[in-house]
Structure 1
Amino acid sequence: MAGYELHVISNGKLEEATFARIAGCIHPYVTAIHIREKEKPAEQVLRLIGAALAAGVPAERLYVNGHLSIAATVTLGGLHMAGSSPQLTSLHDMSNRALRTGVSVHGVNEARQREQEGADYLVFGHIYETGSKPGLPPRGLELLSEVTAEVSIPVIAIGGVTPERIRPVLEAGASGVAVMSGIWDAADPEQAVRAYANELTIKESKQR
C-alpha cells in the first residue's frame, strides 16, 4: 500500500470460524489485523490467533490488543495498548516478542508522551461520528492535524473513516487508517477492504 497503513480491528462479536475466514481473505490488503477482544480471556484470544494463522494470515500481520501475557510468549506483528495503560517503558520486558508496540491516544500531550516512552505508532480518534461511540463528539480533523504535527511516529486515524473520507484524513497528516465495522460488517469484507486499500494507494500515487 505504498507506505500508508491499513489496520483492521476485530469487533468482539465474531465466532472463531467467521473471524478466521474473513481474516484469511483480507490479510493481503492490510498492514495489521488487531485481535481486540476485551471480554475474552487469553485462552480464547490464543485460539483466535491460531485460527487466523491456520487460515494463512502471516504472524507479522496479527496484532494483539492488551494481552501482555500473549505478547510475552508469541511472536506477532504488534502489541496494542489502551490509552489508560501504564508507561510503555515499564512493559518492555513483557512485550518484547511483539515486532511493534502501539497505543491509543486522544490528544497532543498523550501523543508526545507515548512517543517518548517508545511507541512505534499511535492510534488517534475518533475522527468522525461513529456508532461505536454513541453520544461522544468526534475529535475531528483539526485535532488530528495537531497530533500528527507534534510526533514523528505514524499516527493511524480511527472512527467513522470510510473510503470516501480517506483523503482529508491523510491530508491532516495521518499515516493510515483503522477500521472496524466497515470491514467486519460488510456484505463482502474482501471487496470492502479492497476499497480502503485502493484509496490509500491512489492517494499515495497522487502525492508523488
Structure 2
Amino acid sequence: MSSSRKHELHVITTGKQELSELAGILTHCPTGLIDVLHLREKQRGARELAQWYATLAPLLPESAIYINDRVDAALAAGAPGVQLGYTSLDARQSRRLLPAGVRIGCSVHSLEEAEQAAEAGADYVLYGHIFASGSKPGLEPRGLEALAAIVEACPLPVIAIGGMEPERMESVLATGCAGAAVLSSILLHPRPAEQIVRFREALDRTHHIPRRRFQ
C-alpha cells in the first residue's frame, strides 16, 4: 500500500473468469491504484493458484497479490499476504507456517469473529456484507451501523466488503474503516479501468471525512 494513502482498495477476483480474461482486463487498467488484488478462486487447486500468481504479478508491480484460503499456495507462490475464511487455517496456525512479514487478513461476519481474529494474530479483518450484494443473494446486509460498531470495538484495521460502489465511499469511510474490497463492481464492470479510477478518487477524496455516529 502506498504510504500516502489512508484508505486501501482491495480488488477480489470473481471466480467467474479465466486467467486469460482477468489478465486481459488488468493489462488495460491503472493497476497502480489498487493496493491489493485477492485471488479468491475456491474451485482452483494450489498449483493453479500459484500459476495465477506468477502470471498476474508482473501486471501489478505496484500492488500486493494475496491468495485467499490456501496457505500452501501462498507459500508456493511467495505471496506477501493471505486472506483466511472460516474453512481456512486460523491466523495463529497460518503465522507458524508463513515467513515473517506476510500479511494475514481474516474474513469475519461478527464482532466475536473479529475479536478472535485479533487474538489469533491477524493483521486486519475484512467485514461484510455491508450493502445488498449480488454475490450474497437473499442474505440481509449488515449495514453501516454494524460496520461502525466493528470498527469501534476491533483493534485491527477493518476493510468493508459487500455492495461497494464509488458513490458509497463517503458513508462507508465515515465509520472509520480502513478501506473497501470490491468484486463485481470492478472486474465485471463494462469499463473496469474507469471504475478503478472512480474508487481510488472516492477513497482519496474522503481522506479527511470525520467519523460519524451511526447509532
TM range (shorter): over 0.9
RMSD: 1.8
TM-score for the superposition, normalised by structure 2: 0.89
- Distance, in Å, in 1 between the alignment partners of 2:34 and 2:90 is 28
Q: Find out whether 1:161 has 2:154 as its counterpart.
A: no
Q: Deviation of residue 26 (structure 1)? A: 4.0
Residues 85 and 106 in structure 2, CA contact (< 8 A), matched pair in contact too: yes
Q: Deviation of residue 22 (structure 1)? A: 2.4
Letter in 1 for 2:49: V
Deviates more, 1:95-104 or 1:147-156: 95-104
Q: Deviation of residue 192 (structure 1)? A: 0.6
- Distance, in Å, in 1 between the alignment partners of 2:195 and 2:139 is 26
What residue number does 2:35 align with? 31
Of the three residues 10, 13, 26, the one matched with 2:13 is 10
Structure 1, unpaired ranges of 5+? none
Q: Deviation of residue 139 (structure 1)? A: 0.6
- Distance, in Å, in 2 between the alignment partners of 1:90 and 1:46 is 21
SS in 1 for 2:207: helix
- Could you tell me the percent identity over the aligned residues? 33
TM-score for the superposition, normalised by structure 1: 0.92
Cα 1:16–1:101 change in 2 (3 A) is same
Cα 1:98–1:13 change in 2 (3 A) is farther
- Distance, in Å, in 2 between the alignment partners of 1:2 and 1:60 is 13
- Distance, in Å, in 2 between the alignment partners of 1:84 and 1:66 is 8
What residue number does 2:75 align with? 72
Cα 1:75–1:18 change in 2 (3 A) is same
What residue number does 1:45 align with? 49
What residue number does 1:124 align with? 127
Per-residue CA deviation, residues 77-101 of structure 1 (Å, 9 max, x unaligned), is 3100003434321222222366210
Per-residue CA deviation, residues 29-80 of structure 1 (Å, 9 max, x unaligned), is 11100000000111221221111024x3238610000111122233223100
What residue number does 1:182 align with? 185
Q: Deviation of residue 102 (structure 1)? A: 0.2
Higher helix share: 1
